[in-house]
Amino acid sequence: MTDNWPHIPPAPGTPACGPPSFEPERGWWVTRHADVRAALTCPAFQMPAVDTGSPGTLAWLRGTVSRFSPPRHHAQRRAIVVTALTPLDPDDLRHDAARLTVTVLDRAGDRLDVMRELARPVPLRALADRLGFADPAAAGTAVAVVATAYHPGVDPALTTRADRAVATLLALAPDGPPEAQANLIGLLVQACDATAGLIGAAAHHLRPPVAPRTPVSAETADLLAEVLRLDPPVRATRRVTTTGVRLGGRDLPAGSPVLLRFDAANRDPRAFPEPHAFRPGRPGASLLTFGTGERGCPGDRHALALAAGVLDVLWERCRRTPAPLRHEPHPTLRVPTNLEVSVR
């Protein structure tokens, strides 16, 4: 079976690995695995500051979640997320996602758009249910609206819609302090595009006869890890230097904007022999797509479980159609816009 694994070329726009490079209009780009890992674990590299806003708005949400929090607030807010995730068994999430996927496929016709019907709504609904949101389906719909405007600098019209969606999510969230509710909502928003992109990439790259024809267990984590390495839904993350720091043989001044390119680092030949080859279970360097260090994703196992639950059923019951695959325009995310399958 391993002889049939695909050779996956880099996505358009993926830079080559090399020393940190600087351009006045874009700042520093970091592409080598060792350099990206060093920046993720060095306290001199911090998340860029975000503005906050009135309680219950999108700006307030961004200013309150752990992801964008400055160091003085990060640990406390991250603990809220960790506490919420700790009781959630990834196997239960996988089962929930598979059950919801079966329900969708049973009601579908002979064709289905994986992104619209499965990759976006199913993981969000399963996770929102386990987190205690009053109406998981409605919560998932509202999260998708927030996700379109979550990163700073978007169209003001999207922000207005997202403000209303944040208010909806606060009404559906479990009772608790606003800071705790915000971080539960942030957890769902973080899962939205990233999990959908993983499902879309896996469904695209691992289509039969390459993909398993029946649900798999131990293999699935290895399959998804290679998809995350070769076609990550989160292609990069931003940092800013708080002091002057030396990285990869370059001196970065304080206040430098830095873009850490996961897509390039995950194909670094110094870290991954035959970097473009799909090799499930490959030993060696750690995958960087979920980050690492104190800001590494606390829900990586849960995201993989949700994606696996959808894909277990999808691989068993669906086949890709030859329709071309396109991706949403975004500077740091890679999420298919649609992915059509035939349903058995």
Q: What domains does the chain contain, in order, with CATH numbers?
A: 2-343 (1.10.630.10)
Taking the C-alpha atoms of residue 334 and residue 32, their distance in angstroms, rounded to an integer, is 20
3-state secondary structure of 21: strand
Q: Could you tell me which of 144, 125, 145, 143 has the C-alpha nearest to residue 135? A: 125
Buried b (16+ CB within 10 A) or exposed e, 34-73: bbbbbbbebebbbbeebeebeebbbbbbbbbbbbbbeeee
Residue pLDDT tens, the chain, 344 long: 345 677 889 999 999 999 999 998 899 999 999 999 999 999 999 999 998 999 999 999 999 999 999 999 999 999 999 999 999 999 999 999 999 999 999 999 899 999 999 999 999 999 999 999 999 999 999 999 999 998 766 777 889 999 999 999 999 999 999 999 999 999 999 999 999 999 999 999 886 544 544 344 447 888 899 999 999 999 999 999 999 999 999 999 999 999 999 999 999 999 999 999 998 888 777 889 999 989 999 999 999 999 999 999 999 999 988 888 899 988 899 999 999 999 98
- pTM metric for this prediction: 0.94
Angle between helices 71-85 and 178-205 (to 10 degrees): 70
